[in-house]
Chains A and B, each alone.
Chain A
Amino acid sequence: MSTTTTDLQNEIDAIEGSHISHNDHHHGPEKGLMRWVKTTNHKDIGTLYIWFAFTMLLIGGAMAMVIRAELFQPGLQLVEPQFFNQMTTLHGLIMVFGAIMPAFVGLANWQIPLMIGAKDMALPRMNNWSFWILPFAGAMLLSTMFMQGGGPAFGWTFYAPLSTTFAPASTDYFIFAIHMLGFSSIMGAINVIATIMNMRAPDMKLMDMPLFVWTWFITAFLLIAAMPVLAGAVTMMLTDRNFGTSFFDAAGGGDPVLFQHIFWFFGHPEVYIMILPAFGIVSQIIPTFARKPLFGYSSMVYATASIALLSFVVWGHHMFLAGMPIGGQLYFMYATILISVPTGVKVFNWVTTMWRGSMSFETPMLWAVAFVILFTIGGFSGLMLGIAPADIQYQDTYFVVAHFHYVLVTGALFSIIAAVFYWLPKWCGRMYNEKLAKIHFWWAIISVNVLFFPQHFLGLAGMPRRIPDYSLQFADFNMISSIGGFAFGASFILLTYIIVDCIRNGEPVKDARVWESAKGLEWTVPTPAPYHTFDKPPSKELILAESSHIHVEGVH
């Protein structure tokens, strides 16, 4: 390597300098509300996505509070069973389609151009459109609650025929909302792929890309392949409901199990859509705070790709009891437990990255470590659920509820929180309150385990999911779980305060490299990140020096 540290430092200074001279002329954002309506800037749109996701997280969380309040004691105290079913259904739909997925798209919008040295997303107008569909789709979905007959009450998996012939009239609005959400996701995914393929700094090879970019790149292909299948499923529902077809009605030659096949052909890749970007985030954060390059960069990429491919051929493990022939059950069992191999590789790589590092535990690192531990616990119960005969006793019980909340809350959601703490100082140029953020972390981490860990026991003790009332033997653990739930819910009030406080009054951060040992092109632009970045693509030397996985002697 002929380049010296000084050369690179000069380049970084030059990047910063160019921003300072450019910034305040014609490149700044428009003033007022129309800035947000008309924006095509990846940073603005990223911000919109993340605030939208946060709003939906609070709405979906409020519904979870209703669920836990009703389940606090046996008996029907607060809500009617039909309304309870609406809560479980909308909670799931809103968290999946309204909170987790948009939050990841928001992070992709902010970070991918910054991490690959691109000026912006490749398709900025479509970017604007794919965001602005969301609030309308979300509002339509929520409005069903106020329609006659109530909102969707058939679970977020909306199995036919409960969701077709037996569903309330509002279901057609639900179908339209799902179509719009899918539309938005597909456009977002196309944008990510186009950006990574076309806007990447010319000297950045695919295997130079940071893992967050890699995992999102693979996720985008999953989205493009899976979301149209969901659109197909809801369209078939629509015609079954309104136009006399019988896709899912045995009386007309259809099959309700067909719905499950189509739904889970979407649904299983969807699970990985919600976790692969999380893998990417954690792979960025752990090396930073372990002060050590990521262990096994290329095996991480291959593992992610393997998981993505496998995710398309395991959907049947959601349907072991739907009446599947033994050959199908055996195949889906083998394919499913095979996924734990590449997933294990990832966990082992993270642990080895930490091994003999020089670790410090700032808030993003705390969340990332919590992710590794708790996601792994969710992975263990996932392995157990993958064993077809054992699944007989787990399917549709609270054991499953515990499992997917460990992977989606302490997995996906925790990674998003980690990412926000990690990159927020870069975005707004201010530091969050580290002390409060740590208090919040411990509060959340304890309460979330009090909330979800006992649900394993409830499931094994025989409590089915999606029931508004239960027999007395389940009372103790439900009460513990509810108490954990209320505490975890309340922790988001503190989180809101910490974030708003950071943006408004946080200690200003001047260093481009907010975390001393962080690597990546995003840390070469000034803090706060200017409205436009990388007018000139970064050099090959800078790209190599900033890659988190290849250690270049003499640079940081």
Chain B
Amino acid sequence: MLGNRFLLHPKKVSFFFKSLSFLPLFFISQNAFAEFGLNLPKGVTSISRDIYGLHMLIFWVCVGIAILVFGVMTWSMIFHRKSRGAVASNFHESTAVELVWTLAPLAVLIAIAFPATKVLIDLENTERADMTVKITGYQWKWEYEYMNEGVSFFSNLDKASRDATGDAEARANHANYLLDVDNRLVLPTGKRIRFLMTSNDVIHSWWVRELGVKQDANPGFINDSWAKIDVPGVYRGQCTELCGKDHGFMPIVVEAKSEADYQKWLENKKVEQKAAAAAGDREWTKDELMVQGQKVYSSTCASCHGVTGQGVPGAFPAITGSPFASGDIKAHIGIVMNGKAGTAMQAFGKQLSDSDLAAVITFERNALNNHTGDLVQPATIKSAR
């Protein structure tokens, strides 16, 4: 299966070598670019289409200049060779010529600058939004908060991708390897959506190509951007600012639904979040806690502390035998809930529900080669908040 991915289609190979020679690109329709994943997509927002138009405009300007410059060069390399008996001329200066090739490119640049300015002014205008989504980057996941709706959730790399990094067969069977998440960002079509970007730790950058949106998420500051999605569908992207070890493993998936479907989804999400909060009000059994704890650990903790709790010496401490996970239970709850400033250890009290916190702390104290026998109930977490 995987092998097939690597077999180069003969057409692709010849296309690649053709494109190396640069000029034949001229004669290939723009659809061909898209099919082979050679070019930007037009996208599904007015911004992304404007950017695509600009991109193609500059591209053809460059191709034009290239034909001119490389053409003259090639001509003289063929015909003005010593081996063909060419005798060198002696001209070496011309103010008129220098002026022409200073002013002509300047005129071309001004011609490009006009549409570029127009697009930039449009895409920087985030006013008149119908709704706002706040996007917070974390090492290494995204949090989406629907402002004024009371809905917020985290979006992690899906488990199937995480498991497939070392497994070729699993990768081959995963159509969206590394581009899938557990919770998608669902957005309505036809609405002007304002995005607010910020970060909890280091700088991240939120990019979805089809939306024409990329904006850095800076800790302590808020950036903004906007999109009005025209076509329902699933659009994928990735973090584009190096943010540490798992920078390559925090994808973005946007699902655009019609307004009615979006409202339905939003209502469901609200009910779901209420139920999750209520789960913290009852007593949990140890088995329940351990099963849920394992889930939370692998999605939230394992990327730093290791699947078996071994950590990374010098960078991320081990859970196995740690003074927290095998020592005082209050200190353990404290570090998980409040984190450690200036490290990748986040304040998970803000990110996880009472029951998830109770579960993962119980899991850490009774698995990964720790044997404290302690049970932590959601109620304990609630009172610790």
Complex alpha-carbon distance, A351 and B70, angstroms: 9
Which residues of B lie under 8 Å from residue A329 when comparing CB positions? 120, 124
- Taking A326-B120, A392-B51, A457-B38 as contacts, is the C-beta distance between A85 and B245 under 8 angstroms? yes
- Taking A251-B220, A387-B116, A462-B237 as contacts, is the C-beta distance between A470 and B178 under 8 angstroms? yes
**Closest residue of A by beta carbon distance from B70:** A373
Complex alpha-carbon distance, A473 and B12, angstroms: 13
Point out the residue from A149, A162, A296, A326 that lies within 8 Å of B203, measured CB to CB.
A162
Q: Report the count of interface residues on A (CB-CB < 8 A).
A: 107
- Over the window 436-479 of chain A, the binary record of Cβ atoms lying under 8 Å from chain B Cβ atoms (1 yes, 0 no) is 00000000000001100110010011101111111111111101
Confirm or deny: A337 has a beta carbon within 8 angstroms of a beta carbon on chain B. yes
B186 to chain A, nearest CB (A): 21
Confirm or deny: A390 has a beta carbon within 8 angstroms of a beta carbon on chain B. yes
Complex alpha-carbon distance, A169 and B314, angstroms: 8
**Closest residue of A by beta carbon distance from B52:** A393
Point out the residue from B55, B77, B97, B168 that lies within 8 Å of A75, measured CB to CB.
B168
Instruction: List CB contacts (< 8 Å) of A333-378 with chain B.
Output: 333-334, 337-338, 340-341, 344-345, 347-348, 351-352, 354-361, 369, 372-373, 376-377
B111 to chain A, nearest CB (A): 11
The answer to whether B59 touches A384 (Cβ under 8 A) is yes
Point out the residue from B81, B165, B341 that lies within 8 Å of A76, measured CB to CB.
B165
The answer to whether B76 touches A389 (Cβ under 8 A) is no
The answer to whether B8 touches A257 (Cβ under 8 A) is no
Interface-side segment among B87-95, B358-366, B371-379? B87-95
Complex alpha-carbon distance, A389 and B362, angstroms: 49
Confirm or deny: A81 has a beta carbon within 8 angstroms of a beta carbon on chain B. yes
The answer to whether B73 touches A354 (Cβ under 8 A) is yes
Complex alpha-carbon distance, A294 and B58, angstroms: 30
- Taking A257-B221, A384-B62, A393-B214 as contacts, is the C-beta distance between A352 and B203 under 8 angstroms? no
Q: In which size bucket is the chain B interface?
A: 35 or more
The answer to whether B116 touches A333 (Cβ under 8 A) is yes
Complex alpha-carbon distance, A459 and B224, angstroms: 24
Confirm or deny: B313 has a beta carbon within 8 angstroms of a beta carbon on chain A. yes
Confirm or deny: A292 has a beta carbon within 8 angstroms of a beta carbon on chain B. yes
Which residues of B lie under 8 Å from residue A249 when comparing CB positions? 220
Interface-side segment among A15-23, A54-62, A153-161? A153-161
Complex alpha-carbon distance, A338 and B171, angstroms: 46
A179 to chain B, nearest CB (A): 23
- Taking A148-B314, A162-B242, A166-B201 as contacts, is the C-beta distance between A471 and B178 under 8 angstroms? yes
Which residues of B lie under 8 Å from residue A322 when comparing CB positions? 203, 216, 218, 223
Which residues of A lie under 8 Å from residue B121 when comparing CB positions? 326
Confirm or deny: A321 has a beta carbon within 8 angstroms of a beta carbon on chain B. yes
- Taking A296-B98, A348-B69 as contacts, is the C-beta distance between A334 and B113 under 8 angstroms? yes
Complex alpha-carbon distance, A449 and B90, angstroms: 35
Which residues of A lie under 8 Å from residue B55 when comparing CB positions? 384, 390, 393
Confirm or deny: A295 has a beta carbon within 8 angstroms of a beta carbon on chain B. yes
Point out the residue from B16, B174, B216, B218 that lies within 8 Å of A454, measured CB to CB.
B16
Interface-side segment among B246-254, B279-287, B290-298? B246-254
- Over the window 43-80 of chain A, the binary record of Cβ atoms lying under 8 Å from chain B Cβ atoms (1 yes, 0 no) is 00000000000000000000000000000011110000
- Over the window 242-270 of chain B, the binary record of Cβ atoms lying under 8 Å from chain A Cβ atoms (1 yes, 0 no) is 11111111000000000000000000000
- Over the window 280-315 of chain A, the binary record of Cβ atoms lying under 8 Å from chain B Cβ atoms (1 yes, 0 no) is 000000000011111111110000000000000000
Point out the residue from A153, A389, A449 that lies within 8 Å of B123, measured CB to CB.
A389
Which residues of B lie under 8 Å from residue A480 when comparing CB positions? 8, 16
- Taking A166-B244, A340-B109, A551-B92 as contacts, is the C-beta distance between A469 and B249 under 8 angstroms? yes
The answer to whether A358 touches B202 (Cβ under 8 A) is no
Instruction: List CB contacts (< 8 Å) of B52-78 with chain A.
Output: 54-55, 58-59, 62, 65-66, 69-70, 72-73, 76-77
The answer to whether A397 touches B240 (Cβ under 8 A) is yes
Point out the residue from A291, A351, A475 that lies within 8 Å of B69, measured CB to CB.
A351
B261 to chain A, nearest CB (A): 26
Complex alpha-carbon distance, A256 and B200, angstroms: 13
Confirm or deny: A497 has a beta carbon within 8 angstroms of a beta carbon on chain B. no
Complex alpha-carbon distance, A479 and B121, angstroms: 39
The answer to whether B218 touches A159 (Cβ under 8 A) is no
Confirm or deny: A424 has a beta carbon within 8 angstroms of a beta carbon on chain B. no
B226 to chain A, nearest CB (A): 12
Confirm or deny: A554 has a beta carbon within 8 angstroms of a beta carbon on chain B. no
Which residues of B lie under 8 Å from residue A150 when comparing CB positions? 314-315
The answer to whether A162 touches B243 (Cβ under 8 A) is yes
Interface-side segment among B145-153, B204-212, B326-334, B347-355? B204-212
The answer to whether A323 touches B314 (Cβ under 8 A) is no
A314 to chain B, nearest CB (A): 14
B18 to chain A, nearest CB (A): 12
- Taking A166-B202, A358-B82, A393-B40 as contacts, is the C-beta distance between A76 and B166 under 8 angstroms? yes
> Can you name 26 A-B pairs with beta carbons within 8 Å?
A74-B171, A81-B249, A169-B314, A250-B218, A256-B219, A290-B88, A297-B92, A297-B93, A322-B218, A323-B216, A329-B124, A333-B113, A356-B76, A357-B89, A359-B82, A376-B69, A377-B22, A384-B59, A450-B20, A462-B238, A464-B238, A470-B178, A472-B175, A472-B177, A480-B8, A551-B90
The 10 closest A-B pairs by CB, nearest first: A250-B220, A149-B314, A467-B248, A148-B314, A165-B342, A380-B62, A358-B88, A293-B92, A461-B37, A396-B240
Residues of A within 8 A of B (CB): 73-76, 81-82, 85, 147-150, 153-155, 159, 161-162, 165-166, 168-169, 249-251, 255-257, 290-299, 321-323, 326, 329-330, 333-334, 337-338, 340-341, 344-345, 347-348, 351-352, 354-361, 369, 372-373, 376-377, 380, 383-384, 387-390, 392-393, 395-397, 449-450, 453-454, 457, 460-462, 464-477, 479-480, 549-551
Residues of B within 8 A of A (CB): 5-6, 8, 12, 16, 19-20, 22, 36-40, 50-51, 54-55, 58-59, 62, 65-66, 69-70, 72-73, 76-77, 80-83, 86-94, 97-98, 101-102, 105-106, 109, 112-113, 116-117, 119-121, 123-124, 139, 164-168, 171-172, 174-179, 201-203, 205, 207, 209, 212-216, 218-221, 223, 237-249, 312-315, 341-344
